[in-house]
């Protein structure tokens, strides 16, 4: 359907044809948010995705096909202008309902909740990688459920049942991961891109620093030599890079230090959307931390 057809007409046509009604179309900006949505929409519809996981939400431009998906969407879920700046203008042109998970004022944002103590070190801007925190994603799922229920009240019971199932499974997974990761609390590591802070603080891991805040920008020479100094002092046991940025700089800095290499995927490229996909994603992150940090 290249053109936007009035919804009433669509509904009439579909009921005449007795075709399956694809009532609820959700578009997520980044894949981990799509995975949360897939749990909520299980048996109802399949959520779409705007930024492919091999791209970066820090630097992305929408394609014409993305604009069509936005025009068709009932609900668009995104973090906010601090992360997906490229969405600000396109979202002004869609009738879709918008769910912005982080609002401009950090004081009023769900991202600024007090269950996150900043552990010494970097106090720059607010960390926009909200999906690294299972508690924030539970809240996001609740907000998605409420917004979708207002759009399609007839799906309310199904959405709520899916939410309850997701919430229980997520809390169980969270407890499991906490147990698995707690023995690693004193194992220092560096990450390539500063995307994991919320996971790290939620599970009490010991991140010593990162190479870059913006994965599209190369870290400075002085910063690199500081990291190299810490690696030579054996402060860290592992350096994590990521598949989106296979960085020569990480290889150069770690060369000869004997530090292990890990790879964390912030955008869940190997995870297939489905009811348990977000749990699998958390599990995969935890598994890689375990593999690289274990004594
Ligand atoms: Zn990032």
CA of 4 to the centre of ligand 1 (A): 34
Q: Are 282 and 138 in contact (CB under 8 A)?
A: no
CA of 234 to the centre of ligand 1 (A): 27
CA of 193 to the centre of ligand 1 (A): 7
DSSP 242: B
- 175: pLDDT strictly greater than 90: yes
CA of 163 to the centre of ligand 1 (A): 27
Kindly list the protein residues that place their beta carbon closer than 5 angstroms to ligand 1, a single-atom ion. 195
Q: Per-residue pLDDT tens for 272-281?
A: 999 999 999 9
Q: Which two tokens stand for residue 162?
A: 């899916």
CA of 276 to the centre of ligand 1 (A): 23
pLDDT range class, residue 118, cuts 50, 70, 90? very low
Q: Are 47 and 141 in contact (CB under 8 A)?
A: no
> Which one, of 100, 158, 193, 130, lies nearest residue 275 by Cα?
158
DSSP bridge pairs for 261: 239
CA of 80 to the centre of ligand 1 (A): 13
Q: Where are the alpha helices (DSSP H) in 120-276?
A: 134-151, 156-181, 197-202, 221-232, 248-254
Domain 19-102+124-176, CATH class in plain words: alpha beta
CA of 93 to the centre of ligand 1 (A): 26
CA of 30 to the centre of ligand 1 (A): 11
For the chain, what is the mean pLDDT? 87
Q: What angle do CA 287, 100, 104 make, to 5 degrees?
A: 105
Percentage of the chain modeled with pLDDT above 70: 84
**What span, in angstroms and rounded, lies between the C-alpha atoms of 200 and 189?**
11
- 183: pLDDT strictly greater than 60: yes
The gap from C-alpha 22 to its chain's centroid, in whole angstroms, comes to 25
CA of 116 to the centre of ligand 1 (A): 18
CA of 129 to the centre of ligand 1 (A): 6
CA of 58 to the centre of ligand 1 (A): 6
* Average pLDDT of span 213-226: 84
Domains 19-102+124-176 and 183-293 are alike in CATH topology:
yes
Q: Where are the beta strands (DSSP E) in the chain?
A: 26-28, 48-49, 75-78, 97-100, 188-193, 206-212, 238-241, 260-263
- 219: pLDDT strictly greater than 90: no
**What span, in angstroms and rounded, lies between the C-alpha atoms of 204 and 198?**
10
Which CATH topology does 183-293 take? Rossmann fold (3.40.50)
pLDDT of residue 24: 93
Highest mean pLDDT out of 3-7, 79-83, 100-104: 79-83
pLDDT of residue 107: 42
CA of 149 to the centre of ligand 1 (A): 31
pLDDT of residue 17: 54
Indicate the range of 95-99, 104-108, 112-116, 137-141 predicted with least confidence: 112-116
- 122: pLDDT strictly greater than 70: no
CA of 56 to the centre of ligand 1 (A): 7
| 68 vs 120, more confident | 68
Q: Which two tokens stand for residue 74?
A: 């009932």
**How many residues are listed for the chain in this entry?**
295
* Average pLDDT of span 67-83: 94
CA of 213 to the centre of ligand 1 (A): 7
Instruction: For the chain, give percent helix, strand, coil, nearest 5.
Output: 45, 15, 40
- List the chain domain ranges: 19-102+124-176, 183-293
CA of 10 to the centre of ligand 1 (A): 39
**What span, in angstroms and rounded, lies between the C-alpha atoms of 16 and 36?**
33
pLDDT of residue 152: 96
> Which one, of 29, 140, 28, lies nearest residue 84 by Cα?
29
Q: Per-residue pLDDT tens for 20-63?
A: 445 799 999 999 999 999 999 999 999 999 999 888 888 899 99
CA of 190 to the centre of ligand 1 (A): 15
């Amino acid at each position: 359907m290249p053109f936007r057809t009035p919804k009433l007409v669509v509904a009439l046509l579909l009921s005449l044809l007795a075709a399956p009604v694809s009532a609820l179309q959700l578009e997520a900006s980044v894949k981990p948010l799509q995975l949360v949505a897939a749990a909520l929409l299980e048996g109802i519809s399949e959520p779409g995705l705007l930024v492919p996981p091999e791209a970066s939400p820090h630097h992305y431009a929408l394609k014409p096909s993305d604009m069509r998906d936005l025009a068709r969407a009932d609900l668009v879920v995104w973090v906010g202008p601090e992360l997906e700046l490229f969405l600000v203008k396109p979202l002004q042109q869609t009738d879709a309902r918008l769910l912005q998970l982080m609002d401009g004022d950090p004081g009023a944002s769900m991202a600024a909740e007090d269950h996150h103590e900043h552990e010494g070190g970097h106090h720059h801007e607010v960390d926009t990688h909200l999906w690294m925190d299972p508690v924030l994603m539970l809240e996001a799922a609740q907000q998605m459920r409420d917004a979708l229920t207002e759009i399609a009240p007839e799906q309310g019971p199904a959405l709520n049942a899916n939410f309850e199932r997701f919430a229980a499974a997520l809390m169980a997974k969270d407890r499991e991961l906490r147990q698995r990761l707690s023995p690693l609390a004193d194992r220092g590591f560096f990450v390539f891109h500063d995307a994991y802070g919320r996971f790290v603080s939620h599970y009490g891991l010991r991140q010593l620093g990162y190479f870059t805040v913006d994965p599209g920008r190369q870290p400075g020479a002085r910063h690199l030599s500081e990291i190299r100094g810490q690696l030579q002092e054996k402060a860290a046991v592992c350096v994590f890079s990521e598949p989106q940025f296979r960085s020569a700089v990480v290889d150069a800095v770690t060369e000869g230090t004997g530090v292990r290499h890990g790879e964390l995927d912030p955008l869940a490229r190997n995870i297939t959307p489905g009811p348990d996909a977000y749990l699998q994603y958390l599990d995969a992150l935890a598994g890689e931390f375990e593999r690289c940090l274990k004594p």
